[in-house]
Amino acid sequence: MILITGGAGFIGGNFVHHWFERCARLSLPEEPVVVFDKLTYAGNPHTIGEHLQAGRATLVQADIADREAVRQALATHRPRAILHFAAESHVDRSIHGPGEFIHTNMVGTFSLLEEARAYWNSLEGADKEGFRFLHVSTDEVYGSLSDTDPAFSETTPYAPNSPYSASKAGSDHLVRAYHHTYGFPTLTTNCSNNYGPYHFPEKLIPLMILNALDGKPLPVYGDGLNIRDWLYVRDHCEAICQVLEKGRLGETYNVGGINEIKNIDVVTTICRKLDALRPRADGQPYESLITYVKDRPGHDRRYAIDPTKIQSEIGWKPAETFESGINKTVQWFLDHTDWIDTVRSGAYRDWLDQNYAERA
């Protein structure tokens, strides 16, 4: 049994799917999972519904900052590992309301660490020796790169520039401290920008796909030349599986897609894919919907990951190029309007109006 915090969110939900598909592919025993998720706006049980219905996954709806709920889940399910995905993760939301980010990413991680450490200390023998706490983090903790700076490595100094990245940096430091102070068996991964199925539609790629299909403007911040390293989410999930199996305790592993692309190029690529797959009724190209809007405060210019360590120590490398990954992603959103409808609530629409109206 493994326990996955945030397992009904984007990356966590994809991990649940990948976990069982991987078990089948590698002829491994089908190890069940407990999904511990608060089910905020970005958590959706429909994402993992087939596994919940089949009994392979169990859902515990609770906040990671609720120590009693965490304690009870650990005592009931006795996991051999905790995979910590749960986080508030949208930079724009952190600018509008940083308090939730501090609560979830820092206080929540602290609470989870305290209860997980107590649980680990209650274990004996092989159970204690084999237990792992894997913390999933972001490349944004390292700050911003210029066009000529080398890519982020595991030794790059932290320099977070948003309330979101600062809160994730704080959680990373807590995890590191619990290993070095208490000997708690931690692993940390810092990933680049993920994309793929089940991506909540406030983020760049799903927002562009869905706005385009609705004939709405495609808002691009600033000059559109900000660069991100794009990682297909299932490649990320496989990296986490391999770090869980092979990673050295207390170590950090940077996970990148080796796909540095300007934001405007991501948007135009999506437009061209949709032109081919779902042409507009008026015959106009989707690129005509692109609208440049006021940049976000403190917008980091470039992120890039150096994945040398995970490649050399673990043997992982991404299977998808951006071309193959974006093809799968666009097609998935075209094919899954039922899932999209479950997450595009009134609260979500209100948020988009709030965030983008002020940038017009």
At residue 341 the predicted structure's pLDDT band, cuts being 50, 70 and 90, is confident
Instruction: Report the pLDDT averaged over residues 118-130.
Output: 98
Q: What is the Cα–Cα distance from 7 to 13, expressed in whole angstroms?
A: 5
Residue 158 DSSP symbol: P
All residues at 6 or more sequence positions from 343 whose CB lies less than 8 Å from its CB, including other chains: 44, 200, 201
The predicted model gives 177-204 an average pLDDT of: 96
Question: What does the pLDDT look like over 48-80, one tens digit per residue?
Answer: 999 999 999 999 999 999 999 999 999 999 999
Per the annotation, the verdict on 358 as an active-site residue is no
Residue with tokens 């999933």: 136
Residues 212-232: tens digit of each pLDDT: 999 999 999 999 999 999 999
State the catalytic residue, choosing from 37, 63, 119, 164.
164
Q: What is the pTM of this model?
A: 0.94
Distance CA 360, CA 356 (A): 6
Token code pair at residue 349: 């629409």
| Reported confidence tier of residue 346, pLDDT bands at 50, 70, 90 | low
Mean pLDDT of 176-203: 96
pLDDT tens per residue, range 139-176 = 999 999 999 999 999 999 999 999 999 999 999 999 99
Which residue has 């592919």 as its token pair?
25
Identify the active-site residue in 92, 140, 238, 306: 140
Contact 231, 257 (CB under 8 A): yes
Contact of 244 with 187, CB cutoff 8 Å:
yes
- The confidence band for 41, taking pLDDT boundaries of 50, 70 and 90, is confident
Q: Verify whether residue 140 is a known catalytic residue.
A: yes
Beta strand ranges found along the chain (DSSP E): 2-5, 33-37, 57-61, 81-84, 132-138, 186-191, 193-195, 218-221, 227-232, 252-255, 260-262, 290-293
In the chain, where the domains are located: 2-198+230-258+302-319
Catalytic one of 115, 139, 238, 300:
139
Q: Hey, which CATH number is domain 2-198+230-258+302-319, 3.50.50.60, 1.10.240.10, 3.40.50.2300, 3.40.50.720? A: 3.40.50.720
Q: What is the pLDDT of residue 356?
A: 52
Is residue 164 among the annotated active site residues? yes
Q: Which residue type is seen at 273?
A: K
pLDDT in the model for residue 348: 46
